[in-house]
């Protein structure tokens, strides 16, 4: 730190000397010098003063460490081949590279997809460093327990895209997913032009509340406005292109009067590949996430519409939710893209 370069090493003050002078533990000194959370302001100032008096820190270094500490924010995303989540990760990494000294300190981790245990462990593991955690929630008892425990310890939490439901102290940033599902049902019903037949749904997992809410919204409007279209159940493709491809091939073989497909989750590339290979472009197809593969599918006519939530706005709202005073966060705006209005 700020010690004299000519001073013998053995005579230079150490962190243990600072701890003794300030009357705190060595771990507390380490937390203060590395600007970690968990130290009271009064204690932090006492450590910094002791470090300067001993010559461990210069006045300039003390002033820098005495400034308000930027927030530590962790973002937890599911690992896998979902192009939208990879895009979200890329946008977060870009922010890491361009972060200024006054902004929050961001970390992004990809954890095992669809594993409630892995998500619960990641929440607990990161709570020691993070002031706030944004996470793609899995609706499962072990995740609820971990989230409630972390929130009670003082780390702020916000779920993104998919939430945990009404868990006290945990905000959410995402779409109104039931309305999204109803919109998808309305669009497929209108595009069907009165045809009779089946409509199929593909999802990542019902353990994602976003997916189950979209399914519920879709089913409600189909029954209400388009009784000529029967629902052929929902298949879980785990946001994996290969699984979605196999599900779509099976649907095309087993459901000869298939009118439309709604991909409630991600990785629509597997579905468009099957439709393209089987020459079934007459099947109405709607999916989520504006990414290079869905853009290409819409332009070639294999996909009819893309439902999207802007990744930068999602990140901004999540960081704002973790940084500012608690507030009710309005649902994000749903963007719907066709071949004629692609950005």
Q: Which two tokens stand for residue 199?
A: 């409509």
Q: Match 């705190």 to its residue by tokens.
A: 24
98 has pLDDT over 80: no
Q: Contact 147/167 with Cβ under 8 angstroms?
A: yes
Mean residue pLDDT across the chain: 89
Residue ranges covered by each domain of the chain: 9-66, 72-174+311-330, 177-308
Q: Which two tokens stand for residue 217?
A: 């919204």
Question: What pLDDT does 50 receive?
Answer: 82
Rounded to the nearest angstrom, the gap between the alpha carbon of residue 162 and the centroid of all alpha carbons in its chain is: 8
3 has pLDDT over 50: no
333 has pLDDT over 50: yes
CB < 8 Å & 24+ apart, contacts of 317-321: 317/173, 318/75, 318/134, 318/158, 318/160, 318/173, 319/73, 319/104, 319/106, 319/134, 321/134, 321/156, 321/158, 321/171, 321/173
Indicate the range of 39-53, 82-96, 133-147 predicted with least confidence: 39-53
Rounded Cα gap, residues 113 and 122, in angstroms? 12
Dihedral class, residue 289 (left if φ above 0, else alpha if ψ from -120 to 50, else beta): left
CATH code, residues 177-308: 3.40.50.2300
Rounded to the nearest angstrom, the gap between the alpha carbon of residue 251 and the centroid of all alpha carbons in its chain is: 30
Domain 72-174+311-330 has CATH 3.30.428.10: no
Is the Cα torsion angle 246, 251, 256, 257 positive or negative in sign?
negative
Rounded (5°) CA angle 48-322-290: 135
Rounded Cα gap, residues 82 and 277, in angstroms? 21
Question: What pLDDT does 11 receive?
Answer: 66
Question: What pLDDT does 12 receive?
Answer: 76
195 has pLDDT over 90: yes
pTM of the prediction? Answer: 0.83
Say whether 177-308 and 9-66 share the same fold: no
249 has pLDDT over 50: yes
318 has pLDDT over 60: yes
Domain 9-66 has CATH 1.20.1260: no
Question: What pLDDT does 51 receive?
Answer: 81
Query: In which band, very low, low, confident or very high, does the pLDDT at 125 lie, cut at 50, 70 and 90?
Result: very high
How confident is the model over 214-231, as a mean pLDDT?
95
Q: Is 317 exposed, middle or buried (0-12, 13-18, 19+ CB in 10 A)?
A: buried
Question: What pLDDT does 42 receive?
Answer: 83
Going by C-alpha positions, the residue among 180, 166, 210, 201 that lies closest to residue 78 is 210
Query: In degrees rounded to 5, what are phi and psi of residue 241?
Result: -60, -40
Among 20-24, 31-35, 185-189, name the most confident range: 185-189
21 has pLDDT over 50: yes
């Amino acid at each position: 730190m700020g010690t004299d370069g000519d001073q013998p090493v053995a005579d230079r003050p150490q962190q243990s000397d600072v701890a003794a002078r300030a009357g705190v533990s060595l771990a507390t000194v380490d937390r203060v010098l590395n600007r970690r959370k968990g130290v009271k302001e009064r204690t932090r100032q006492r450590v910094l003063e002791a470090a300067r008096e001993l010559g461990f820190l210069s006045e300039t270094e003390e002033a820098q460490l005495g400034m308000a500490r930027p927030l530590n924010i962790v973002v937890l995303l599911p690992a896998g081949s979902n192009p939208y989540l990879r895009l979200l990760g890329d946008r977060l990494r870009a922010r890491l590279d361009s972060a200024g000294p006054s902004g929050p300190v961001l970390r992004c981790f990809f954890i095992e997809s669809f594993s409630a245990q892995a998500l619960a462990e990641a929440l607990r593991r990161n709570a020691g460093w993070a002031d706030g955690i944004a996470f793609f929630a899995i609706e499962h008892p072990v995740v609820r327990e971990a989230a409630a425990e972390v929130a009670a310890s003082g780390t702020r939490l916000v779920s993104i895209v998919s939430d945990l439901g009404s868990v006290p102290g945990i905000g959410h940033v995402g779409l109104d997913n039931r309305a999204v599902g109803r919109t998808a049902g309305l669009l497929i019903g209108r595009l069907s032009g009165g045809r009779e037949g089946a409509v199929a749904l593909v999802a990542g997992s019902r353990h994602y509340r976003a997916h189950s809410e979209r399914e519920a919204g879709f089913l409600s409007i189909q029954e209400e406005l388009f009784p000529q279209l029967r629902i052929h159940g929902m298949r879980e493709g785990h946001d994996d292109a290969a699984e979605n491809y196999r599900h779509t091939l099976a649907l095309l073989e087993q459901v000869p009067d298939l009118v439309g497909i709604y991909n409630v989750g991600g990785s629509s590339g597997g579905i468009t590949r099957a439709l393209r290979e089987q020459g079934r472009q007459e099947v109405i197809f709607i999916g989520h996430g504006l990414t290079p593969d869905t853009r290409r599918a819409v332009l070639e006519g294999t996909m009819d519409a893309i439902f999207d939530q802007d990744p930068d706005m999602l990140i901004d709202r999540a960081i704002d939710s973790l940084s500012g005073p608690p507030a009710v966060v309005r649902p994000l705006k749903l963007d719907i893209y066709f071949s004629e209005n692609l950005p």
